[in-house]
Each structure stands twice: as C-alpha cells, then as structure tokens.
Amino acid sequence: MVKVKRLGHTTLQTEDIDGQTDYYSRVLGLSIVERSKDRVFLASKVGLEAVELVKGKPGWMSAQSFQIDPESDLNDVVKELSKHGIKAERRKGMSPGVADSVTFVDPKGTQVDLFSEYKFPKQDLTPSAFNILKLGHIAYRVLDVQKVVKFYNEVLGFRTSDSRGDYFYFLRCNTDHHTLNFIVDEKPQLHHIAFEVMEWAEIRKATDFLALNKIHLVWGPGRHVIGHNVATYHRTTDLVRIEIFTEMDQMKDEALGYWDPRPWHQERPLYPKTHGKETLRNYWGYGSERVIKGYQTNEIPVYGAIES
Ligand SMILES: [Fe+2]
C-alpha cells in the first residue's frame, strides 16, 4: 500500500488568474513562489505549497497532490498502483518544490500527484494580516462515496476518522482528524478547501481582514462536532468555499485509537465513529441548532446578504 503522509497542493481553475492571485496572496497572505501568464503557485508563509492557479472553469479543482514517505521509490509506487488497476506515470516538474512525482487519475476523475521529496521555497518575510500554516483539507462532492473512500483507504493508506451516516466521510492520513472529506452528491465537484491557522487569534485577524476586503462570512465561526475544529467559511469570487480553521482533533497515537482528549469533547475517550442525526454540525456557533430538523449537511447555511 502507498502511504500518504500529508496533503500537498490543490490546482484550481479560474478565468481571472490575476484576481485570484491577488486574493490568495494579498488577502489570504500566501506567498507567490512561481508566476507565469497561465500558472501561479502559492505557498504558506511557512513554506508549504498550497494552491496552483491555472486557466479554466472558475471554481473547478483539477488536481491535488500528496507527499508520501521520502524513502519511497517512485517506480515502485507506479507498480503498486498498477496492482490496483491504476495507470500511473512519472512526471517531472509538478511544482516549484517537487521535481519528481507519480501522476494518475483517482476514481472521481481528479488528477492526483504523489511526491516523495519536497524542496521548501526561500523564506518569505513579508508580513500578512494573518498566518496560514497549510492547506489542511479538501472536501469533495462525489457520486459513489463508498468507492472513493475505499480507494483512498485501501490504495493510498488513509483511515476513516468519522462519518455522518453513510454519505459524509472524514479521512485522515496523519494526526489531523481529516485531510479529505467526501460527501454524496449527484453533481461531483469541489465542496470546500480549508486552510489551517495556529490559533483563534488568527481567525479573528482573518475575519477582520476579510471584512476590510468586503468579503463576508458564509458560516461560522463555530466549533464543529465532527473534528472539533473551530471554523469559519467564506467564498472567493470564483465561488470556491474557503474554510479557515484551527484546533482540529488529533490522533497522536494510532495504536491508542482515540482522539487526544480535549475539554470540549462530548465523550471520553473519543473514538472514531459513525454519527447519526443527533450529532450537531456545530457544537456552538451558527448552525449548531439545525441538524435535527433538516439532517442536511451538504449545504452550508448562509447568513447576511452576501451569498451570490
Ligand atoms: Fe472542512
């Protein structure tokens, strides 16, 4: 089995590369590590590549990457994937920090690149309004959620952290509660991407700075129950939902099997589980009262006059 260690970057399509570059660099504070007319790479200030912008249909995600064990032989990875019927090939120059990768298409039709070695960019010391640490997770709407979850768990080494019924899955590849979400939907497409910040103070700085830029929140801040991250959501002008979060549940020791205990957990110890209708989407914050009535998690509720 190939073992994914962490999420790399996501490739987002846009018709407005300059506008989106301004948003991700000036508003979110990511560093531009490579820029050409048709392609821009951005990394967090701590040096992790996070977003690639390319020309295309606004708001569509066309690729994502993951780092695997630095000791991995990429030819072995190609062979391993072929055992599962996946046609993969070596690729050069995926990103400024990745010289070699293995590329293939996952069961939901997204291009995936796996890389073993990563070169950090030169440190960017320019200040930003708040600090994103990394691209933390990607949530995707899929038709056949069981098939996609099985693929990521059995072929790429993910584990199911929690699920809501049999239609909303949270998968981890490291200590973070989730790096991937898959949600059943008839229209396969990106649901949201999420950036991790160090602490609440960063969320306050982020939301104030978003407001100064006339970008309003569409959900939160609140604390989720599944994953327990404090999260807030807004949209880009390409209508990509962006989550900014902190304090996500951590599985520090897989052998123990429970989440590192936190004061706000509802159960002790707290194990991965399947949640039912009784589980609120938010422990507190906007949206914490809605689940029992609606039991509808695909749509993030909206408040204010901003959703367009
Ligand atoms: Fe999320």
pLDDT tens for each residue of 205-234 = 999 999 999 999 998 899 999 999 999 999
Q: Which domain holds residue 91?
A: 4-115
pLDDT value of position 117: 97
How far away, in angstroms, is 155 Cα from ligand 1 center? 23
In a domain, 252, yes or no: yes
**Which residues, including other chains, have CB under 8 Å from residue 227's CB and lie 6 or more apart?**
161, 162, 170, 177, 178, 248, 249
How far away, in angstroms, is 193 Cα from ligand 1 center? 7
Over 60: is that where the pLDDT of 152 sits?
A: yes
In a domain, 22, yes or no: yes
CA angle 222, 201, 177 (to 5 degrees): 50
- The three-state secondary structure class of 293 is helix
Query: Is there a single domain that holds both residue 203 and residue 152?
Result: yes
Cα separation of 146 and 159, whole Å?
Answer: 13
Contact 174, 5 (CB under 8 A): yes
pLDDT value of position 287: 64
Query: Is there a single domain that holds both residue 228 and residue 182?
Result: yes
Work out the burial of residue 254: count CB atoms within 10 Å of its CB; fewer than 13 is exposed, 13-18 middle, 19 or more buried.
Answer: exposed
How far away, in angstroms, is 68 Cα from ligand 1 center? 22
What is the domain-level CATH number for residue 25? Answer: 3.10.180.10
HSE at residue 153, side-chain half, CA atoms within 13 A, is 16
Query: Is there a single domain that holds both residue 53 and residue 93?
Result: yes
DSSP for 85-143, written as a single string: T---EEEEEEETTEEEEEEEE-TTS-EEEEES---PPPP-----SS-EEEEEEEEEEES
pLDDT tens for each residue of 177-191 = 999 999 999 999 999
How far away, in angstroms, is 10 Cα from ligand 1 center? 14
How far away, in angstroms, is 231 Cα from ligand 1 center? 8
pLDDT confidence of 305, banded at 50, 70, 90? Answer: very low
How far away, in angstroms, is 187 Cα from ligand 1 center? 19
How far away, in angstroms, is 172 Cα from ligand 1 center? 12
pLDDT value of position 302: 38
The rounded mean pLDDT for the chain is: 92
Length of the chain: 308
Across 100-104, average pLDDT: 98
Cα separation of 60 and 76, whole Å?
Answer: 31
Chain centroid, CA 230 distance in Å: 15
How far away, in angstroms, is 137 Cα from ligand 1 center? 7
pLDDT value of position 288: 63
pLDDT value of position 278: 82
pLDDT tens for each residue of 154-175 = 999 999 999 999 999 999 999 9
Query: Is there a single domain that holds both residue 138 and residue 111?
Result: no
Cα separation of 135 and 67, whole Å?
Answer: 13
Closest CA to 185 of 231, 139, 233, 243: 139
How far away, in angstroms, is 213 Cα from ligand 1 center? 23
How far away, in angstroms, is 88 Cα from ligand 1 center? 29
How far away, in angstroms, is 280 Cα from ligand 1 center? 15
pLDDT value of position 289: 57
pLDDT tens for each residue of 22-58 = 999 999 999 999 999 999 999 999 999 999 999 999 9
How far away, in angstroms, is 168 Cα from ligand 1 center? 12
pLDDT tens for each residue of 70-93 = 999 999 999 999 999 999 999 999
The count of domains in the chain is: 2
How far away, in angstroms, is 154 Cα from ligand 1 center? 23
How far away, in angstroms, is 275 Cα from ligand 1 center? 16
pLDDT value of position 268: 94
How far away, in angstroms, is 192 Cα from ligand 1 center? 7
Over 80: is that where the pLDDT of 109 sits?
A: yes
Query: Is there a single domain that holds both residue 210 and residue 151?
Result: yes
How far away, in angstroms, is 296 Cα from ligand 1 center? 15
Tokens of 213: 């830029």
Task: Indicate the pTM of the whole model.
Answer: 0.93
In a domain, 77, yes or no: yes
How far away, in angstroms, is 85 Cα from ligand 1 center? 30
Query: Is there a single domain that holds both residue 58 and residue 179?
Result: no
How far away, in angstroms, is 60 Cα from ligand 1 center? 17
Query: Is there a single domain that holds both residue 93 and residue 145?
Result: no
In a domain, 299, yes or no: no
- The three-state secondary structure class of 202 is helix
pLDDT tens for each residue of 230-273 = 999 999 999 999 999 999 999 999 999 999 999 999 999 999 99
Query: Is there a single domain that holds both residue 86 and residue 144?
Result: no
In a domain, 122, yes or no: no
* Dihedral in degrees, nearest 10, Cα atoms 224, 229, 234, 235: -100
